[in-house]
């Protein structure tokens, strides 16, 4: 009887000990929230693969995905910040990076792994982890529609581009696909990044500095005339009539299905087309000609940020380092998913498909200039300003007076700068 009692006591002690061990393990486990967005390329499966691989290599750290929803990722993060629910790790944190106390300073050892040009500085602080650089817009087109309209060469000048549009219309085709709906960034994206940015940077090489200090106004004639040229394309009926009802995903599908002959879009679409088995026999791509003839392109740097409110910053930066170059296979996987390019000092490359290769080769010998709305650091536009301009440019697309819209930009920029204490 005594033996049974002792055995029972020992069993109880062992069970309690084991339970205590499990509780300790649970207490030692760190869970980090990671704010991401989903697109045709950045699918739930992509994010889950990254999470699963990291967790397998880093027991004790769990990653919980937070999906950014709504019209604007910056607005989503601002809402989360105001509610006290800021995710630990954020993709696309730039709009809040200049706000004191939102993001933690990045360890110097981690920053040292990235290209100097990719490192952003706000008031002497480094609060962003470089993630990648994205090649921006060019014009994709259906080769069969060009052939049916008697177009034998890609347009190299503005006049030739207009001729292409006219020939397509004469052949009963819609020249251009547009985007509207809730994707406010996408309506003007192709034109603004491919044409407007080039014209403004050619006229004012230090545009951001000049517009922020008031030396140049947003009502400047270079910008006004550029947007009026865009509106002429719209008024001429070159854009698909259903453009404003399409999300970016829907517009992409409509273009792929042949609803329009051309679509101004980013390098990520080249990766999508390649991934679907399309070739340069199906889809061609060319640099969008500018009315002034200036030729340049821009890249968008992308960053991650670790929230100052994160209770486990060391583990959070460990996750950043792992995905953004520490594990080359995962970094390559992340880059290739959206057709982006590495910013690590030791470049990480991948095999590109035929359409993405053509997109990349089109940039040979073309000048690289900053992208006005995506500059980071002390010459960045104030938080919320890009969203404001995107909505204004949607108004231009639907017929609003260009000069009347631009007249609101300087006042809004100043209001946002003052609100941020700058």
| Residue range 64-82, pLDDT digits in tens | 999 999 878 888 999 999 9
> What confidence score (pLDDT) does residue 124 get?
87
* H-state helical runs in 29-157: 44-57, 73-82, 108-111, 143-148
For residue 118, give the DSSP letter. G
Average pLDDT of the residues in 168-192:
96
- At 5, is the pLDDT very low, low, confident or very high (cuts 50, 70, 90)? very low
Higher pLDDT, 105 or 39: 105
Token couple for 93? 């944190």
Residue 26 pLDDT greater than 70, yes or no: no
Residue 194 pLDDT greater than 50, yes or no: yes
Average pLDDT of the residues in 129-155:
96
Per-residue pLDDT tens over the stretch 284-306:
999 999 999 999 999 888 999 99
Backbone phi and psi for residue 284, each to the nearest 5 degrees, phi listed first: -105, 170
Residue 40 pLDDT greater than 60, yes or no: yes
> What confidence score (pLDDT) does residue 422 get?
60
Residue 320 pLDDT greater than 60, yes or no: yes
Which residues, 6 or more positions from 32, have their beta carbon under 8 angstroms from its beta carbon? 61, 62, 63, 64, 88, 89, 310, 312, 315, 316, 319
Residues 111/119, Cβ–Cβ less than 8 Å: yes
- CA-to-CA separations, 35 to 63, 86, 254, in angstroms, rounded: 10, 9, 29
Map tokens 């719209």 to a residue: 234
Residue-averaged pLDDT of the chain: 91
Domains defined for the chain, CATH in brackets? 31-135+300-349 (3.40.190.10), 138-298+356-419 (3.40.190.10)
Per-residue pLDDT tens over the stretch 212-248:
999 999 999 999 999 999 999 999 999 999 999 999 9
Region at 214 (left for phi over 0; alpha for psi -120 to 50; beta for the rest): left
Closest CA to 121 of 136, 101, 106: 106
Higher pLDDT, 54 or 24: 54
């Amino acid at each position: 009887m005594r033996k049974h009692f002792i055995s029972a006591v020992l069993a109880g002690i062992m069970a309690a000990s084991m339970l205590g061990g499990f509780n300790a393990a649970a207490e030692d486990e760190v869970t980090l929230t990671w704010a991401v967005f989903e697109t045709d390329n950045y699918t739930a499966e992509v994010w889950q693969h990254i999470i699963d691989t990291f967790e397998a290599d880093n027991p004790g750290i769990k990653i919980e995905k937070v999906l950014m929803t709504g019209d604007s990722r910056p607005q989503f993060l601002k809402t989360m910040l105001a509610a006290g629910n800021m995710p630990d790790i954020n993709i696309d944190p730039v709009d809040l990076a200049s706000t004191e106390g939102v993001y933690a300073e990045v360890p110097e050892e981690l920053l040292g792994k990235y290209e100097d040009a990719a490192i952003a500085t706000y008031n002497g602080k480094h609060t962003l982890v470089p993630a990648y650089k994205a090649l921006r817009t060019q014009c994709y087109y259906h080769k069969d529609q060009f052939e049916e309209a008697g177009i034998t060469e890609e347009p190299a000048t503005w006049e030739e581009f207009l001729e292409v549009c006219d020939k397509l219309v004469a052949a009963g085709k819609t020249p251009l696909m547009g985007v509207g709906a809730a994707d406010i960034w996408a309506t003007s994206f192709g034109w603004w990044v491919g044409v407007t940015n080039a014209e403004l940077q050619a006229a004012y090489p230090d545009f951001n500095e000049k517009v922020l200090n008031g030396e140049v106004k947003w009502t400047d004639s270079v910008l006004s005339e550029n947007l009026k040229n865009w509106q002429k394309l719209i008024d001429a009926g070159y854009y698909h009539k259903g453009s404003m009802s399409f999300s970016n995903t829907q517009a992409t599908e409509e273009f792929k299905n042949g609803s329009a002959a051309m679509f101004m879009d980013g390098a990520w679409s080249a990766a999508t087309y390649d991934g679907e088995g399309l070739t340069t026999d199906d889809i061609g791509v060319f640099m969008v000609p500018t009315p002034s003839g200036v030729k340049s392109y821009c890249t968008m740097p992308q960053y991650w940020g670790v929230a100052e409110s994160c209770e486990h910053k060391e583990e959070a930066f460990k996750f950043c380092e792992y995905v953004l170059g520490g594990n080359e296979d995962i970094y390559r996987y992340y880059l290739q998913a959206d057709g982006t390019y590495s910013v690590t000092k030791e470049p990480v490359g991948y095999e590109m498909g035929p359409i993405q290769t053509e997109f990349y080769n089109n940039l040979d010998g073309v000048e690289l200039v900053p992208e006005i709305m995506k500059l980071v650091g002390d010459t960045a536009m104030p938080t919320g300003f890009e969203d404001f301009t995107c909505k204004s440019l949607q108004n231009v697309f639907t017929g609003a007076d260009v000069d009347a819209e631009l007249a609101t930009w300087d006042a809004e920029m100043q209001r946002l700068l003052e609100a941020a204490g700058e």
